[in-house]
Structure 1
Amino acid sequence: MKTINIHDAKTHLSRLVEQAAKGESFIIAKAGKPLVKVTALDVPIGNQTRRLGFLAGQISVPDDFDQMGSDEIERMFNDDV
């Protein structure tokens, strides 16, 4: 990923935004210090792709899920250490 100084970013903003919209993210830096990352809104970043419902029908959650292990947990907190 390329780094652009803030002066060049101001000068070439239109071109840089077009490139970012096509998926070519870049970083804007000031005095060599990275400040912001510019990326397209519809492009997933790294492992942030979320696939809701991809295990639908393949797993089940017990009705007492929120109570599972509560007796053991209570014993752990009430035991003298």
Structure 2
Amino acid sequence: MLQAKSFLSRLVEAVEQGQEREIVIARNGCFAAKLVPIDTALSGKRIGVAKGLFVMPDSIDAHNNAVARLFMVGVQP
């Protein structure tokens, strides 16, 4: 864990550039986390249980900034 903290930016860069497929981080000899590229982490078959049951309006993202401000995530007005 200490090494991962010290070299986090290098580890992320190695994963981003494809030098490493994944990096496993351990704490006290036990696996604690896995660093993988974002597209790998989000891949996989989706269940799609609501597919075709409703129509998503084009304006679904219209209020994202206002909602984000409610959660204080640093979105600019």
Indicate the TM-score class for this superposition, using the shorter chain for normalisation: 0.3 to 0.5
Larger-Rg structure: 1
Greater relative contact order: 1 or 2 (C-alpha under 8 angstroms, separation 6 or more)? 1
